[in-house]
Amino acid sequence: DQQVKQNSPSLSVQEGRISILNCDYTNSMFDYFLWYKKYPAEGPTFLISISSIKDKNEDGRFTVFLNKSAKHLSLHIVPSQPGDSAVYFCAATPNTGNQFYFGTGTSLTVIP
């Protein structure tokens, strides 16, 4: 049962434009959400996170938005750069327990 879903397996964006990656979850117990970036043959790298008490968190070019009522979060990258081309995973963790639940990833390609 996939509790965290990324319905778009891939996304292509022109350099300089905004990239929007989406993530949906089903478990209302999730209270902390994260985005990771992954290059081929490397481990994921933590990008940005958001607690359920917030609806927005911004860090440089990266902004994560959380809509708890819709059980939806999104990652905005603006402006997009070719170096942002990678697979992006969203993850969620409940307020009890240790496990992080990952989405299936979205492959972002930023076209120069």
Partner 1 sequence: GAVVSQHPSRVICKSGTSVKIECRSLDFQATTMFWYRQFPKQSLMLMATSNEGSKATYEQGVEKDKFLINHASLTLSTLTVTSAHPEDSSFYICSARGAAGATDTQYFGPGTRLTVL
Q: Residues in the site for partner 1, rule: CB under 8 A?
A: 32, 34, 36, 41-46, 49, 89, 91, 98-100, 102-105
Are the CB atoms for 80 and 16 separated by under 8 Å? yes
What CA–CA distance (Å, rounded) separates 112 from 103? 27
Which CB atom, from 45 or from 67, has the smaller least distance to partner 1? 45
In DSSP notation, 14-29 reads ETTS-EEEEEEE--TT
- We find the least distance from the C-beta atom of residue 100 to partner 1, in angstroms, to be 5
What CA–CA distance (Å, rounded) separates 108 from 21? 8
- We find the least distance from the C-beta atom of residue 68 to partner 1, in angstroms, to be 19
- We find the least distance from the C-beta atom of residue 42 to partner 1, in angstroms, to be 6
Which CB atom, from 32 or from 65, has the smaller least distance to partner 1? 32
Which CB atom, from 17 or from 54, has the smaller least distance to partner 1? 54
- We find the least distance from the C-beta atom of residue 9 to partner 1, in angstroms, to be 9
What CA–CA distance (Å, rounded) separates 61 from 65? 13
